[in-house]
Amino acid sequence: MKLPIYMDHHATTPVDPRVVEAMLPYFSEHFGNPASRNHAFGWRAEQAVETARAQVADLLGARSREIVFTSGATESINTALKGVAAARRPKGNHIIALQTEHKAVLDSLQRLEQGDYRVSYIPVEPDGLVAVDRIARAISGDTILISILHANNEIGVIQPVTEIGALARQHGVTMHVDAAQAAGKIPIDVEADRIDLLSLTAHKLYGPKGVGALYIRRRDPRVEMTPLIDGGGHERGFRSGTLNVPGIVGLGKACEIASAEMATESMRLCALRDRLLDGLRKATDDIAVNGSLELRLPHNLNVSFAGVDGETLLMGLDDIAVSSGSACTTATPQPSHVLRALGIGDSLAQASLRFGLGRWNTEEEVDYAVEKVSRIVKRLRELSPIQH
């Protein structure tokens, strides 16, 4: 076992060697611009892009022509939310999202709220899941868009997108899904789930950073959307700019691997996650799992340790890469908005750790993490005046 250990796969993932191998020729050997239509260098690049488009589409149950390449999930989210809001403004100005959305969605919606749009932020239940009837009650005649985080980036809970998609379709509302954490980890079918728009990124599924995709439904119904980036009409006018061919090839390969290996990988990671949780529960008392354990990504564990400061705990884990539940945006740590939405108090929210297990984590690493975390928690509780 080599130290340090990486258990922060929700933040980013290492690039799979098979993905690197697929990308390498497109840096120097096949370096053409896919928009160059009059020579072999451009044709080869265009062929590689179209192969990747099909690989991404296959992971989602989509059609190749419905995939638009972007720089990542944040750009895809901005394009989806602001593009639909602009295109559908004559039909309404109301948008629905969850309180537990990723900041890329929340900040985009806040920008829209500064204009002529209003947003309903739906609360979740204590297990992190939304009650679909809450969304149903929020829909009104001027609702144009619903945005749902498929799998939460902090607590890993998986929302009922199929039911929400059916509800959106029934009311003629466009449905956007942020699948940055879900894509490649759990099955997604944009047809069965009635998803109209879906955002994903390569670097969360063992692909390179700086490339992502946006699924845009072309029929039944065709999504109305205004492009954000102009200049050349690339990607059927939805996203102008010279394509990042090596990155796109890497995203495609990462999706192909995920399609083939998702089932077996999920079983392995779920077993590792259960081993981690069981170990922590046996070695430590006053430990709480944040969010539903049943409807959850297989590689996610978010736990709180009563009587311990999360930042101090993180400092002690100098050879294990994990995240704290508190996001430090200023000098004062602020409790996670996700954990607050679950009704968890500030002190417990700030005493949380997020484990994100990955493709190359081992049982030996999990056992090491259990021993180290439990030892530091015990020591901090002995030193801390906080009662637990």
Tell me the catalytic residues. 328
Of the candidates 76, 10, 13, the one whose C-alpha atom is nearest the C-alpha of residue 203 is 13
Question: What is the C-alpha separation between 203 and 210, in angstroms, rounded?
Answer: 8
Full strand arrangement of the beta sheet holding 287-289: 287-289, 300-305, 352-356, 323-324
Helix, strand, coil in percent for the chain, rounding step 5: 40, 15, 40
**3-state DSSP assignment of residue 102:** coil
Question: What is the C-alpha separation between 155 and 306, in angstroms, rounded?
Answer: 17
Question: What is the C-alpha separation between 5 and 184, in angstroms, rounded?
Answer: 23
Of the candidates 198, 168, 164, 174, the one whose C-alpha atom is nearest the C-alpha of residue 89 is 174
Whole-angstrom CA distances from 358 to 21, 149, 211, 301, 352 are 20, 21, 20, 12, 20
Question: What is the C-alpha separation between 263 and 190, in angstroms, rounded?
Answer: 18
Q: Identify whether the C-beta of residue 144 lies closer than 8 Å to the C-beta of residue 92.
A: yes
Of the candidates 187, 192, 203, 226, the one whose C-alpha atom is nearest the C-alpha of residue 78 is 226
Question: What is the C-alpha separation between 207 and 110, in angstroms, rounded?
Answer: 30
Question: What is the C-alpha separation between 252 and 57, in angstroms, rounded?
Answer: 9
Q: Which two tokens stand for residue 115?
A: 């204009």
Residue with tokens 């954000």: 228
Preceding peptide of 123 cis, ω within 30°: no
Preceding peptide of 187 cis, ω within 30°: no
